[in-house]
Structure 1
Protein backbone atom coordinates (compact mmCIF):
# COMPACT_ATOMS: atom_id res chain seq x y z
CA UNK A 1 0.00 0.00 0.00
CA UNK A 2 1.46 3.39 -0.99
CA UNK A 3 2.05 6.10 1.56
CA UNK A 4 -0.65 8.25 -0.05
CA UNK A 5 -3.27 5.53 0.23
CA UNK A 6 -2.18 4.81 3.81
CA UNK A 7 -2.54 8.48 4.70
CA UNK A 8 -6.04 8.69 3.20
CA UNK A 9 -7.09 5.49 5.04
CA UNK A 10 -5.71 6.83 8.31
CA UNK A 11 -7.57 10.11 7.86
CA UNK A 12 -10.81 8.24 7.21
CA UNK A 13 -10.34 6.13 10.37
CA UNK A 14 -9.55 9.22 12.46
CA UNK A 15 -12.53 11.03 10.98
CA UNK A 16 -14.83 8.12 11.82
CA UNK A 17 -13.47 7.89 15.35
CA UNK A 18 -13.93 11.60 15.79
CA UNK A 19 -17.50 11.39 14.56
CA UNK A 20 -18.17 8.50 16.96
CA UNK A 21 -16.76 10.49 19.86
CA UNK A 22 -19.23 13.30 19.25
CA UNK A 23 -22.05 11.22 17.76
CA UNK A 24 -23.84 8.21 19.16
CA UNK A 25 -26.66 8.33 21.70
CA UNK A 26 -24.83 9.94 24.62
CA UNK A 27 -27.28 12.49 26.05
CA UNK A 28 -29.72 11.95 23.18
CA UNK A 29 -32.05 9.17 24.45
CA UNK A 30 -35.70 9.85 23.61
CA UNK A 31 -38.99 8.21 24.61
CA UNK A 32 -41.47 6.71 22.17
CA UNK A 33 -40.99 7.14 18.43
CA UNK A 34 -39.27 10.46 17.74
CA UNK A 35 -38.07 11.13 14.19
CA UNK A 36 -36.05 14.08 15.45
CA UNK A 37 -34.08 11.92 17.87
CA UNK A 38 -31.26 11.23 15.42
CA UNK A 39 -27.62 11.80 14.68
CA UNK A 40 -25.08 10.76 12.10
CA UNK A 41 -22.92 7.85 13.14
CA UNK A 42 -22.45 4.13 12.80
CA UNK A 43 -25.66 2.17 13.06
CA UNK A 44 -26.00 -1.22 14.66
CA UNK A 45 -26.14 -2.81 11.20
CA UNK A 46 -22.60 -1.44 10.59
CA UNK A 47 -23.78 1.18 8.11
CA UNK A 48 -22.56 4.73 8.58
CA UNK A 49 -25.25 7.38 8.25
CA UNK A 50 -28.40 8.59 9.99
CA UNK A 51 -29.15 6.63 13.14
CA UNK A 52 -31.72 7.04 15.94
CA UNK A 53 -31.78 7.04 19.74
CA UNK A 54 -35.51 6.77 20.43
CA UNK A 55 -37.30 3.83 22.05
CA UNK A 56 -38.60 2.50 18.74
CA UNK A 57 -35.26 2.15 17.00
CA UNK A 58 -34.91 -1.41 18.32
CA UNK A 59 -37.97 -2.44 16.30
CA UNK A 60 -37.03 -0.46 13.19
CA UNK A 61 -33.38 -1.58 13.53
CA UNK A 62 -31.88 1.82 12.88
CA UNK A 63 -30.37 2.48 16.31
CA UNK A 64 -26.99 4.11 16.72
CA UNK A 65 -24.27 1.62 17.62
CA UNK A 66 -24.23 2.59 21.31
CA UNK A 67 -28.00 2.80 21.90
CA UNK A 68 -28.28 -0.12 24.32
CA UNK A 69 -25.31 1.04 26.42
CA UNK A 70 -26.23 4.73 26.48
CA UNK A 71 -30.00 4.16 26.73
CA UNK A 72 -30.43 0.99 28.83
CA UNK A 73 -33.98 -0.26 29.36
CA UNK A 74 -35.49 0.58 32.73
CA UNK A 75 -38.55 -1.31 33.90
CA UNK A 76 -41.37 0.36 35.73
CA UNK A 77 -40.89 0.34 39.50
CA UNK A 78 -43.86 0.38 41.88
CA UNK A 79 -44.24 0.62 45.64
CA UNK A 80 -45.48 -2.11 47.95
CA UNK A 81 -49.23 -2.56 48.25
CA UNK A 82 -50.99 -0.37 50.80
CA UNK A 83 -53.06 -1.93 53.55
CA UNK A 84 -56.51 -3.06 52.50
CA UNK A 85 -59.22 -0.46 52.92
CA UNK A 86 -62.33 -1.15 54.94
CA UNK A 87 -65.38 -2.66 53.26
CA UNK A 88 -67.36 -0.26 51.11
CA UNK A 89 -70.60 -1.31 52.86
CA UNK A 90 -71.33 -2.34 56.42
CA UNK A 91 -72.84 -5.67 57.47
CA UNK A 92 -73.17 -7.01 53.92
CA UNK A 93 -70.90 -8.36 51.21
CA UNK A 94 -69.06 -5.59 49.38
CA UNK A 95 -65.59 -4.68 48.10
CA UNK A 96 -62.33 -3.45 49.59
CA UNK A 97 -59.37 -1.84 47.81
CA UNK A 98 -55.62 -1.59 48.11
CA UNK A 99 -53.32 0.53 45.96
CA UNK A 100 -49.69 1.08 45.10
CA UNK A 101 -48.02 3.94 43.27
CA UNK A 102 -45.48 4.30 40.50
CA UNK A 103 -41.98 5.07 41.74
CA UNK A 104 -40.31 5.04 38.32
CA UNK A 105 -41.84 5.19 34.87
CA UNK A 106 -40.50 2.69 32.30
CA UNK A 107 -38.06 4.00 29.73
CA UNK A 108 -36.21 2.73 26.67
CA UNK A 109 -38.68 -0.12 26.09
CA UNK A 110 -38.59 -1.27 29.71
CA UNK A 111 -41.44 -3.34 31.21
CA UNK A 112 -44.67 -1.32 31.60
CA UNK A 113 -46.24 -0.66 34.97
CA UNK A 114 -48.51 -3.36 36.44
CA UNK A 115 -51.97 -2.66 37.85
CA UNK A 116 -51.90 -0.02 40.58
CA UNK A 117 -55.22 -0.98 42.19
CA UNK A 118 -56.54 -4.31 43.41
CA UNK A 119 -60.07 -5.08 44.59
CA UNK A 120 -61.37 -7.99 46.61
CA UNK A 121 -64.66 -9.03 48.12
CA UNK A 122 -65.08 -8.47 51.85
CA UNK A 123 -67.63 -8.45 54.63
CA UNK A 124 -67.65 -6.52 57.89
CA UNK A 125 -68.86 -8.03 61.15
CA UNK A 126 -69.49 -4.70 62.88
CA UNK A 127 -71.18 -1.52 61.69
CA UNK A 128 -69.55 1.91 61.68
CA UNK A 129 -70.58 2.41 65.32
CA UNK A 130 -68.88 -0.77 66.44
CA UNK A 131 -72.07 -2.74 66.96
CA UNK A 132 -72.14 -6.42 65.90
CA UNK A 133 -73.94 -7.03 62.63
CA UNK A 134 -77.00 -9.23 62.63
CA UNK A 135 -76.21 -12.93 62.22
CA UNK A 136 -76.28 -14.11 58.64
CA UNK A 137 -78.18 -17.35 58.00
CA UNK A 138 -77.47 -17.31 54.26
CA UNK A 139 -74.76 -19.11 52.26
CA UNK A 140 -71.12 -19.38 53.23
CA UNK A 141 -69.13 -16.50 51.74
CA UNK A 142 -65.65 -17.42 50.52
CA UNK A 143 -62.67 -15.69 48.92
CA UNK A 144 -59.22 -16.80 47.79
CA UNK A 145 -56.26 -17.27 50.12
CA UNK A 146 -54.47 -14.47 48.24
CA UNK A 147 -57.01 -11.86 49.29
CA UNK A 148 -56.97 -13.05 52.90
CA UNK A 149 -53.22 -12.50 53.44
CA UNK A 150 -52.37 -10.55 56.53
CA UNK A 151 -55.14 -11.96 58.68
CA UNK A 152 -54.25 -13.34 62.12
CA UNK A 153 -53.61 -17.06 62.38
CA UNK A 154 -55.36 -17.51 65.74
CA UNK A 155 -58.70 -16.39 67.07
CA UNK A 156 -59.12 -13.81 69.83
CA UNK A 157 -58.83 -16.60 72.44
CA UNK A 158 -55.54 -17.92 71.06
CA UNK A 159 -57.12 -21.02 69.56
CA UNK A 160 -55.57 -22.33 66.32
CA UNK A 161 -57.57 -21.93 63.15
CA UNK A 162 -59.06 -24.87 61.31
CA UNK A 163 -59.91 -25.95 57.80
CA UNK A 164 -62.99 -27.63 56.34
CA UNK A 165 -62.77 -29.82 53.26
CA UNK A 166 -65.73 -29.85 50.87
CA UNK A 167 -66.67 -31.70 47.69
CA UNK A 168 -68.09 -29.28 45.16
CA UNK A 169 -71.50 -30.37 43.92
CA UNK A 170 -72.44 -27.48 41.64
CA UNK A 171 -71.50 -23.96 40.63
CA UNK A 172 -72.98 -21.32 38.34
CA UNK A 173 -71.59 -20.70 34.87
CA UNK A 174 -70.52 -17.20 35.91
CA UNK A 175 -67.66 -18.62 37.99
CA UNK A 176 -65.79 -19.73 34.87
CA UNK A 177 -66.42 -16.45 33.02
CA UNK A 178 -64.71 -14.12 35.48
CA UNK A 179 -62.09 -11.96 33.74
CA UNK A 180 -61.37 -9.25 36.28
CA UNK A 181 -58.04 -9.66 38.12
CA UNK A 182 -59.76 -9.87 41.50
CA UNK A 183 -62.08 -12.66 40.33
CA UNK A 184 -59.72 -14.97 38.41
CA UNK A 185 -59.57 -17.33 41.39
CA UNK A 186 -63.26 -18.20 40.87
CA UNK A 187 -62.37 -20.16 37.72
CA UNK A 188 -60.86 -22.90 39.88
CA UNK A 189 -64.17 -23.63 41.59
CA UNK A 190 -65.16 -26.69 39.57
CA UNK A 191 -67.73 -29.42 40.16
CA UNK A 192 -66.30 -32.70 41.44
CA UNK A 193 -63.19 -31.10 42.96
CA UNK A 194 -62.31 -31.12 46.61
CA UNK A 195 -61.64 -27.68 48.08
CA UNK A 196 -60.28 -26.56 51.43
CA UNK A 197 -61.77 -23.56 53.19
CA UNK A 198 -59.93 -22.07 56.16
CA UNK A 199 -61.81 -20.59 59.08
CA UNK A 200 -59.97 -17.42 60.11
CA UNK A 201 -60.83 -14.34 62.17
CA UNK A 202 -62.98 -12.35 61.92
CA UNK A 203 -65.26 -14.93 60.27
CA UNK A 204 -64.74 -17.33 63.17
CA UNK A 205 -67.55 -17.08 65.66
CA UNK A 206 -66.43 -16.05 69.12
CA UNK A 207 -65.56 -18.96 71.39
CA UNK A 208 -67.38 -21.44 69.17
CA UNK A 209 -64.53 -22.80 67.00
CA UNK A 210 -66.64 -22.53 63.87
CA UNK A 211 -67.32 -20.24 60.93
CA UNK A 212 -70.55 -19.16 59.32
CA UNK A 213 -71.41 -21.73 56.66
CA UNK A 214 -68.79 -24.30 57.66
CA UNK A 215 -71.40 -27.08 57.92
CA UNK A 216 -70.21 -28.20 61.33
CA UNK A 217 -73.69 -29.16 62.48
CA UNK A 218 -74.66 -30.71 59.16
CA UNK A 219 -74.46 -34.33 58.13
CA UNK A 220 -71.92 -35.17 55.43
CA UNK A 221 -74.69 -35.88 52.93
CA UNK A 222 -76.37 -32.50 53.42
CA UNK A 223 -75.94 -30.11 50.50
CA UNK A 224 -74.77 -26.66 51.68
CA UNK A 225 -74.66 -23.39 49.78
CA UNK A 226 -71.70 -21.08 49.16
CA UNK A 227 -71.15 -17.78 47.36
CA UNK A 228 -67.93 -16.24 46.04
CA UNK A 229 -67.32 -12.87 47.61
CA UNK A 230 -66.75 -10.25 44.92
CA UNK A 231 -69.16 -11.69 42.37
CA UNK A 232 -72.76 -12.42 43.43
CA UNK A 233 -73.26 -14.43 40.21
CA UNK A 234 -70.66 -17.02 41.26
CA UNK A 235 -72.28 -19.43 43.70
CA UNK A 236 -73.09 -23.08 44.14
CA UNK A 237 -73.35 -26.03 46.50
CA UNK A 238 -70.99 -28.44 48.25
CA UNK A 239 -70.93 -31.25 50.79
CA UNK A 240 -68.69 -31.38 53.84
CA UNK A 241 -65.98 -34.05 53.75
CA UNK A 242 -64.00 -33.42 56.94
CA UNK A 243 -62.64 -30.82 59.32
CA UNK A 244 -58.93 -30.63 60.13
CA UNK A 245 -56.32 -28.31 61.60
CA UNK A 246 -54.52 -27.77 58.31
CA UNK A 247 -55.51 -27.20 54.68
CA UNK A 248 -53.91 -29.78 52.38
CA UNK A 249 -55.46 -28.71 49.08
CA UNK A 250 -53.34 -27.10 46.33
CA UNK A 251 -53.30 -23.27 46.44
CA UNK A 252 -55.81 -22.83 43.61
CA UNK A 253 -58.33 -24.97 45.49
CA UNK A 254 -57.82 -23.32 48.89
CA UNK A 255 -60.19 -20.61 50.07
CA UNK A 256 -61.16 -18.69 53.19
CA UNK A 257 -64.48 -18.15 54.93
CA UNK A 258 -65.41 -14.49 55.14
Structure 2
Protein backbone atom coordinates (compact mmCIF):
# COMPACT_ATOMS: atom_id res chain seq x y z
CA UNK A 1 0.00 0.00 0.00
CA UNK A 2 3.05 2.28 0.36
CA UNK A 3 3.94 4.83 3.00
CA UNK A 4 0.64 6.69 2.62
CA UNK A 5 -1.56 3.79 3.69
CA UNK A 6 -2.63 3.20 7.24
CA UNK A 7 -0.66 0.42 8.90
CA UNK A 8 -2.49 -2.78 9.59
CA UNK A 9 -2.14 -2.33 13.31
CA UNK A 10 -3.57 1.19 13.24
CA UNK A 11 -6.46 0.16 11.03
CA UNK A 12 -7.34 -2.74 13.32
CA UNK A 13 -7.18 -0.38 16.27
CA UNK A 14 -9.67 1.94 14.61
CA UNK A 15 -11.98 -0.93 13.77
CA UNK A 16 -11.90 -2.09 17.38
CA UNK A 17 -12.41 1.44 18.73
CA UNK A 18 -15.45 1.98 16.54
CA UNK A 19 -17.12 -1.31 17.26
CA UNK A 20 -18.78 -0.46 20.50
CA UNK A 21 -15.82 0.62 22.64
CA UNK A 22 -17.84 3.68 23.52
CA UNK A 23 -16.12 6.82 22.28
CA UNK A 24 -14.52 5.73 19.02
CA UNK A 25 -13.74 9.30 18.05
CA UNK A 26 -13.48 11.06 21.40
CA UNK A 27 -11.09 13.98 21.11
CA UNK A 28 -10.72 13.59 17.34
CA UNK A 29 -13.72 15.52 16.04
CA UNK A 30 -13.11 18.04 13.33
CA UNK A 31 -15.22 20.19 11.03
CA UNK A 32 -14.07 18.56 7.80
CA UNK A 33 -13.75 14.92 6.78
CA UNK A 34 -10.87 13.30 8.63
CA UNK A 35 -9.70 9.83 7.49
CA UNK A 36 -8.14 9.33 10.91
CA UNK A 37 -11.58 9.56 12.49
CA UNK A 38 -13.19 6.60 10.75
CA UNK A 39 -14.16 3.22 12.06
CA UNK A 40 -16.94 0.72 12.09
CA UNK A 41 -19.70 0.63 14.60
CA UNK A 42 -23.35 1.28 15.19
CA UNK A 43 -24.53 4.27 13.23
CA UNK A 44 -26.59 6.99 14.82
CA UNK A 45 -29.67 6.11 12.81
CA UNK A 46 -29.30 2.36 13.26
CA UNK A 47 -27.33 -0.23 11.33
CA UNK A 48 -23.76 -1.30 11.53
CA UNK A 49 -20.96 -0.16 9.21
CA UNK A 50 -18.35 2.46 8.43
CA UNK A 51 -18.95 5.73 10.22
CA UNK A 52 -17.26 9.07 10.73
CA UNK A 53 -17.21 11.22 13.83
CA UNK A 54 -16.60 14.64 12.34
CA UNK A 55 -18.42 17.69 11.02
CA UNK A 56 -19.41 15.95 7.79
CA UNK A 57 -21.06 12.87 9.22
CA UNK A 58 -24.57 14.28 9.51
CA UNK A 59 -24.58 15.38 5.88
CA UNK A 60 -23.38 11.93 4.80
CA UNK A 61 -25.65 10.04 7.16
CA UNK A 62 -22.82 7.95 8.65
CA UNK A 63 -22.44 9.27 12.19
CA UNK A 64 -20.93 7.10 14.88
CA UNK A 65 -23.39 6.41 17.68
CA UNK A 66 -21.51 8.70 20.05
CA UNK A 67 -21.24 11.64 17.68
CA UNK A 68 -23.74 13.74 19.64
CA UNK A 69 -21.66 13.46 22.80
CA UNK A 70 -18.22 13.55 21.21
CA UNK A 71 -18.89 16.32 18.72
CA UNK A 72 -21.96 18.40 19.78
CA UNK A 73 -23.07 21.31 17.65
CA UNK A 74 -22.11 24.60 19.30
CA UNK A 75 -23.98 27.69 18.05
CA UNK A 76 -22.48 31.11 17.56
CA UNK A 77 -22.85 33.42 20.55
CA UNK A 78 -22.72 37.19 20.14
CA UNK A 79 -22.71 40.01 22.66
CA UNK A 80 -25.18 42.84 23.14
CA UNK A 81 -25.51 45.64 20.60
CA UNK A 82 -23.42 48.72 21.27
CA UNK A 83 -25.10 52.10 21.54
CA UNK A 84 -25.87 53.74 18.21
CA UNK A 85 -23.13 56.01 16.92
CA UNK A 86 -23.80 59.60 16.00
CA UNK A 87 -24.68 60.58 12.44
CA UNK A 88 -21.86 60.14 9.96
CA UNK A 89 -22.41 63.72 8.77
CA UNK A 90 -24.14 66.62 10.45
CA UNK A 91 -26.97 68.66 8.96
CA UNK A 92 -27.91 66.16 6.24
CA UNK A 93 -29.65 62.79 6.23
CA UNK A 94 -27.09 60.12 6.95
CA UNK A 95 -26.40 56.88 8.76
CA UNK A 96 -25.69 55.79 12.29
CA UNK A 97 -24.10 52.45 13.15
CA UNK A 98 -24.16 49.95 15.96
CA UNK A 99 -22.11 46.75 16.32
CA UNK A 100 -21.85 43.58 18.34
CA UNK A 101 -19.03 41.07 18.59
CA UNK A 102 -18.64 37.30 18.49
CA UNK A 103 -18.14 35.71 21.89
CA UNK A 104 -18.21 32.09 20.71
CA UNK A 105 -17.53 30.93 17.16
CA UNK A 106 -19.86 28.17 15.90
CA UNK A 107 -18.46 24.66 15.89
CA UNK A 108 -19.44 21.32 14.44
CA UNK A 109 -22.22 22.66 12.27
CA UNK A 110 -23.73 24.88 14.96
CA UNK A 111 -25.92 27.91 14.20
CA UNK A 112 -23.88 30.49 12.25
CA UNK A 113 -23.31 34.01 13.52
CA UNK A 114 -25.99 36.65 12.80
CA UNK A 115 -25.24 40.09 11.40
CA UNK A 116 -22.67 41.93 13.49
CA UNK A 117 -23.40 45.44 12.22
CA UNK A 118 -26.57 47.44 11.63
CA UNK A 119 -27.03 50.84 10.03
CA UNK A 120 -29.98 53.17 10.42
CA UNK A 121 -30.91 56.61 9.18
CA UNK A 122 -30.44 59.73 11.27
CA UNK A 123 -30.31 63.48 10.95
CA UNK A 124 -29.00 66.04 13.40
CA UNK A 125 -29.88 69.73 13.18
CA UNK A 126 -26.84 70.79 15.17
CA UNK A 127 -23.19 70.80 14.13
CA UNK A 128 -20.44 69.66 16.47
CA UNK A 129 -19.67 73.36 16.97
CA UNK A 130 -23.24 73.97 18.17
CA UNK A 131 -24.45 75.77 15.04
CA UNK A 132 -28.08 75.30 14.04
CA UNK A 133 -28.72 74.01 10.53
CA UNK A 134 -32.33 72.85 10.75
CA UNK A 135 -33.55 75.53 8.37
CA UNK A 136 -31.87 73.71 5.51
CA UNK A 137 -34.59 71.03 5.43
CA UNK A 138 -38.18 71.75 4.48
CA UNK A 139 -39.89 68.32 4.73
CA UNK A 140 -40.38 66.70 8.09
CA UNK A 141 -37.65 64.08 8.46
CA UNK A 142 -38.84 61.38 10.82
CA UNK A 143 -37.52 58.21 12.41
CA UNK A 144 -38.67 55.73 15.03
CA UNK A 145 -39.18 57.08 18.53
CA UNK A 146 -36.64 54.51 19.74
CA UNK A 147 -33.90 56.79 18.41
CA UNK A 148 -34.94 59.38 20.98
CA UNK A 149 -33.37 57.26 23.73
CA UNK A 150 -29.98 57.40 22.02
CA UNK A 151 -30.37 61.13 21.44
CA UNK A 152 -30.86 61.72 25.15
CA UNK A 153 -27.65 59.85 25.89
CA UNK A 154 -25.79 62.06 23.46
CA UNK A 155 -27.22 65.18 25.03
CA UNK A 156 -25.01 64.53 28.04
CA UNK A 157 -21.92 64.76 25.85
CA UNK A 158 -19.78 67.88 26.13
CA UNK A 159 -20.02 68.25 22.36
CA UNK A 160 -23.59 69.45 22.77
CA UNK A 161 -24.47 72.85 24.30
CA UNK A 162 -26.27 72.81 27.60
CA UNK A 163 -28.77 75.50 26.66
CA UNK A 164 -30.82 73.13 24.48
CA UNK A 165 -33.14 72.35 27.33
CA UNK A 166 -36.37 73.86 26.00
CA UNK A 167 -39.42 71.72 26.61
CA UNK A 168 -40.36 69.46 23.75
CA UNK A 169 -43.81 68.94 22.33
CA UNK A 170 -45.82 66.49 20.24
CA UNK A 171 -47.65 66.94 16.95
CA UNK A 172 -50.41 64.63 15.77
CA UNK A 173 -50.78 64.10 12.04
CA UNK A 174 -53.18 62.11 9.87
CA UNK A 175 -51.28 60.33 7.12
CA UNK A 176 -52.73 61.14 3.70
CA UNK A 177 -50.41 59.24 1.37
CA UNK A 178 -47.18 57.28 1.38
CA UNK A 179 -45.00 55.50 -1.14
CA UNK A 180 -45.10 51.71 -1.47
CA UNK A 181 -41.40 51.51 -0.58
CA UNK A 182 -42.34 51.96 3.08
CA UNK A 183 -44.27 48.67 3.18
CA UNK A 184 -41.47 46.85 1.33
CA UNK A 185 -38.81 47.72 3.91
CA UNK A 186 -37.32 44.55 5.46
CA UNK A 187 -34.09 45.72 7.10
CA UNK A 188 -34.36 45.09 10.87
CA UNK A 189 -33.54 48.64 11.90
CA UNK A 190 -36.01 50.11 9.38
CA UNK A 191 -39.04 47.88 9.90
CA UNK A 192 -40.77 50.73 11.72
CA UNK A 193 -41.55 52.19 8.29
CA UNK A 194 -43.87 49.27 7.55
CA UNK A 195 -46.30 50.48 10.21
CA UNK A 196 -47.04 53.70 8.36
CA UNK A 197 -50.55 53.55 6.90
CA UNK A 198 -52.79 55.92 4.99
CA UNK A 199 -55.50 57.39 7.19
CA UNK A 200 -53.77 56.55 10.48
CA UNK A 201 -53.05 59.09 13.19
CA UNK A 202 -49.39 59.27 14.16
CA UNK A 203 -47.55 61.15 16.88
CA UNK A 204 -44.26 62.90 16.13
CA UNK A 205 -42.27 64.26 19.08
CA UNK A 206 -40.18 67.39 18.78
CA UNK A 207 -37.23 66.93 21.13
CA UNK A 208 -34.93 69.79 22.19
CA UNK A 209 -31.96 68.55 20.17
CA UNK A 210 -33.99 68.73 16.95
CA UNK A 211 -35.23 72.27 17.59
CA UNK A 212 -34.05 75.36 15.77
CA UNK A 213 -32.22 77.67 18.19
CA UNK A 214 -33.99 80.63 16.62
CA UNK A 215 -37.58 79.37 16.65
CA UNK A 216 -37.43 76.63 19.32
CA UNK A 217 -39.42 74.46 16.91
CA UNK A 218 -38.73 71.39 14.78
CA UNK A 219 -38.50 71.82 11.02
CA UNK A 220 -41.52 70.43 9.21
CA UNK A 221 -43.80 70.42 12.26
CA UNK A 222 -46.54 72.30 10.40
CA UNK A 223 -46.47 75.32 12.69
CA UNK A 224 -49.29 77.73 11.77
CA UNK A 225 -50.53 75.26 9.15
CA UNK A 226 -54.28 74.86 8.85
CA UNK A 227 -55.79 71.41 9.18
CA UNK A 228 -56.41 71.10 5.45
CA UNK A 229 -52.85 71.97 4.39
CA UNK A 230 -50.87 69.13 2.85
CA UNK A 231 -47.47 68.71 4.50
CA UNK A 232 -44.61 66.47 3.41
CA UNK A 233 -42.52 63.96 5.36
CA UNK A 234 -39.66 61.58 4.61
CA UNK A 235 -38.33 58.58 6.53
CA UNK A 236 -34.69 58.81 7.51
CA UNK A 237 -32.79 55.80 6.25
CA UNK A 238 -34.92 55.27 3.13
CA UNK A 239 -35.46 58.37 1.01
CA UNK A 240 -37.98 56.45 -1.10
CA UNK A 241 -40.27 56.05 1.91
CA UNK A 242 -42.07 59.39 1.93
CA UNK A 243 -45.53 60.86 1.77
CA UNK A 244 -47.91 63.54 2.97
CA UNK A 245 -49.97 64.21 6.04
CA UNK A 246 -52.20 66.86 7.61
CA UNK A 247 -51.69 68.36 11.04
CA UNK A 248 -54.37 67.57 13.61
CA UNK A 249 -53.11 69.30 16.73
CA UNK A 250 -50.11 70.04 18.93
CA UNK A 251 -49.88 68.52 22.41
CA UNK A 252 -47.46 68.61 25.30
CA UNK A 253 -46.91 64.86 25.25
CA UNK A 254 -47.40 62.08 22.71
CA UNK A 255 -49.82 59.26 23.50
CA UNK A 256 -49.91 57.17 20.31
CA UNK A 257 -49.05 53.45 20.28
CA UNK A 258 -45.32 52.75 19.93
CA UNK A 259 -45.62 51.64 16.30
CA UNK A 260 -47.24 54.98 15.43
CA UNK A 261 -44.82 57.11 17.45
CA UNK A 262 -41.97 58.92 15.73
CA UNK A 263 -39.64 61.85 16.29
CA UNK A 264 -38.54 64.79 14.19
CA UNK A 265 -34.89 64.36 13.39
Return the alpha-carbon distance in structure 1 between the equivalents of residues 166 and 138 of structure 2.
28
Return the alpha-carbon distance in structure 2 between the equivalents of residues 69 and 194 of structure 1.
56
Q: Secondary structure of 1:28's partner?
A: coil
Return the alpha-carbon distance in structure 2 between the equivalents of residues 105 and 176 of structure 1.
35
- Per-residue Cα deviation, 1:149-197 (whole angstroms, up to 9, x for no partner): 43329994374x4433221101123323334444333222221222222
What does residue 34 of structure 1 align with? 33
What does residue 165 of structure 2 align with? 157
Q: Which runs of 5+ in 1 are unaligned?
A: 1-14
Aligned partner of 1:229 among 236, 255, 259 = 236
Q: Secondary structure of 2:181's partner?
A: helix
TM-score by length of 2: 0.76
Q: Secondary structure of 1:175's partner?
A: coil
Query: Cα distance 1:246–1:129, how it changes in 2: closer, same or farther (>3 A)?
Result: closer
- Per-residue Cα deviation, 1:57-79 (whole angstroms, up to 9, x for no partner): 33443221122222222221112
Return the alpha-carbon distance in structure 1 between the equivalents of residues 131 and 25 of structure 2.
65
Query: Cα distance 1:149–1:56, how it changes in 2: closer, same or farther (>3 A)?
Result: farther
1:253 maps to 2:260 = yes
- Aligned-pair distance for 1:56? 4.1
Return the alpha-carbon distance in structure 2 between the equivalents of residues 77 and 169 of structure 1.
44
What does residue 190 of structure 1 align with? 197
Query: Cα distance 1:247–1:73, how it changes in 2: closer, same or farther (>3 A)?
Result: farther
Q: Is the 8 A contact 1:99 1:116 kept in 2?
A: yes
Q: Is the 8 A contact 1:24 1:65 kept in 2?
A: no
Q: Secondary structure of 2:232's partner?
A: strand
What does residue 126 of structure 1 align with? 126
Q: Aligned ranges for residues 172-211 of structure 1 at < 5 Å?
A: 172-205=179-212, 210-211=217-218
- Per-residue Cα deviation, 1:187-234 (whole angstroms, up to 9, x for no partner): 222212222222234114459774322224322222211111112222
What does residue 86 of structure 2 align with? 86
Q: Which moved more, 1:16-25 or 1:119-128?
A: 16-25
Q: Aligned ranges for residues 16-165 of structure 1 at < 5 Å?
A: 19-21=19-21, 23-31=23-31, 33-34=32-33, 36=35, 37-133=37-133, 135-152=135-152, 156-157=164-165, 159=167, 161-165=168-172
Query: Cα distance 1:59–1:147, how it changes in 2: closer, same or farther (>3 A)?
Result: farther
Q: Which runs of 5+ in 2 are unaligned?
A: 1-14, 156-162
- Aligned-pair distance for 1:143? 0.9
TM-score by length of 1: 0.78
Q: Secondary structure of 1:126's partner?
A: coil
